[in-house]
Amino acid sequence: MRAFFAVDLPDDLADAVADAQAAFEGADGLRFVDPEQAHVTLKFLGEIGESDDIGESDETDGDTDTDAPALDDVIAAGERAIETAGVEPFECSLAGLGVFPSLDYISVVWAGVDAGAAELTALHEALEAETTALGVDPEDHAFTPHVTLARMNDARGKELVRRVVRERQAAIGRFEAAEVRLVASTLTSEGPAYETVATIPLG
């Protein structure tokens, strides 16, 4: 199954995330994420092992990747990483907008993290160290704490996205980060479906 470690946004921030997305209405080619599934990805793992009580994998050929790290090992790595990071529950704030990889070529539109960025980075670095030791691919870019708002399928709305990102940098909302989730992601025709595999409290 495809999986990642993340910090969730609370349900009461869904409306604020939707408001941030609304600034991009009319930008053709954008596909918005579900505001109720908003989260900060700390480490994308790719394919990992799967236990019988987790939903079916999204692999299309039915084969299991024998090189993928086992689920129990990934959970244990996550627990070690959280302990190593030594991060207590902390407050985060969402403020400002950005894109990946650049305003010249936009694939992802996101809301940035202001307060809490240092703690999220510490968690990411600890998870990176523990999971790459299991054979998970290392990140190929610098970690930027963010919440994905939309993905750009084509460039028709690029100019509108550029203008909004440059002009709108207001605060979006605040939330407390008190736990890290290991999430299974199943790709569907209507977007990814998420299922919590494990929850690791901070502190």
The one catalytic residue among 2, 39, 151, 174: 39
What lies within 8 Å, CB to CB, of 79 at 6+ separation is 200
The one catalytic residue among 146, 150, 161, 198: 146
Is residue 49 within 8 A of residue 71, CB to CB? The reply is yes
Active site residue 124: no
Q: Where are the beta strands (DSSP E) in the chain?
A: 2-8, 30-32, 39-47, 90-101, 106-113, 146-152, 171-177, 179-188, 191-201
Q: With CA atoms as reference, report the closest residue to 87 among 115, 132, 120.
A: 120
Active site residue 146: yes
Separation between Cα atoms, residue 180 and residue 20, nearest integer Å: 24
Separation between Cα atoms, residue 92 and residue 118, nearest integer Å: 10
End-to-end Cα distance, the chain: 28
Q: With CA atoms as reference, report the closest residue to 138 among 75, 44, 22, 36.
A: 44
What lies within 8 Å, CB to CB, of 47 at 6+ separation is 1, 2, 3, 57, 59, 65, 68
Catalytic residues: 39, 146
